Amino acid sequence: MINRIRDIRKEKGWTLAELADACTPPTTAQTIGRLETGMRNLSIKWMDRIAAALEVDPEMLVRSEKSEAPMVVARLRNAGPEALDSPREAIMPADIAGEGSLTVLTVEESVGEFRPGDMLYLRQIAPEDAPHAINRDVLVPRAGGRFYFGRLIDRQGDFVGILPPGSGQKQQVVESPAWIAVAEMLVRRL
């Protein structure tokens, strides 16, 4: 099992001390650090305490070594999606399941119906399955490690047409994309 406490803590922007103080009863930052690194065993009791402090389900604190973690690959801004310098692991929502790799797009600026702080979980499909994704939001890789994001509106042969979410933007056409990631879940903090 892979311990995910550090990933979840950092995703929430907390320090070791803040998480230690949020536990009931409070503990030390050193103890949390040891639990994160595996220097101390993560018991069910500790999982329950830390999960309650982080306000997540205890099972989110660990994942199987066999399961593939969703990766944040890009951030959405007014100018379009921007690839991250290096992808990072995302927190897996409790109620998302299915076949295929999950890719995550974070929203940094308001674009169309998306707000800053949104996380869009997308499931990768083969390009030949594109007809099943027509009129859905998709993320598509393009040359140079960049991406297009928007509504999949057309597929003709090896070409797919994508309409960006911002107003006044023109359709983008991608030839022979390696994959298409179809939006499956939007996570919005309240």
Q: What is the pLDDT of residues 150-174, one digit of tens each?
A: 999 988 888 899 999 877 888 999 8
Say if residues 180 and 151 touch (Cβ distance below 8 Å). no
CATH topology of domain 71-187: Umud Fragment, subunit A (2.10.109)
Give 111's DSSP letter. Answer: B
Its pTM surpasses 0.85: no
CATH topology of domain 2-63: 434 Repressor (Amino-terminal Domain) (1.10.260)
Which one-letter amino acid corresponds to residue 106?
T
Domain limits, the chain:
2-63, 71-187
Helix (H) or strand (E) holding 137: strand 137-142
The percent of residues in the chain predicted with pLDDT above 70, rounded, is 91
Dihedral (Cα; 62, 87, 122, 147), 10-degree rounding: 180
Rounded Cα distance, 77 and 146, in Å: 13
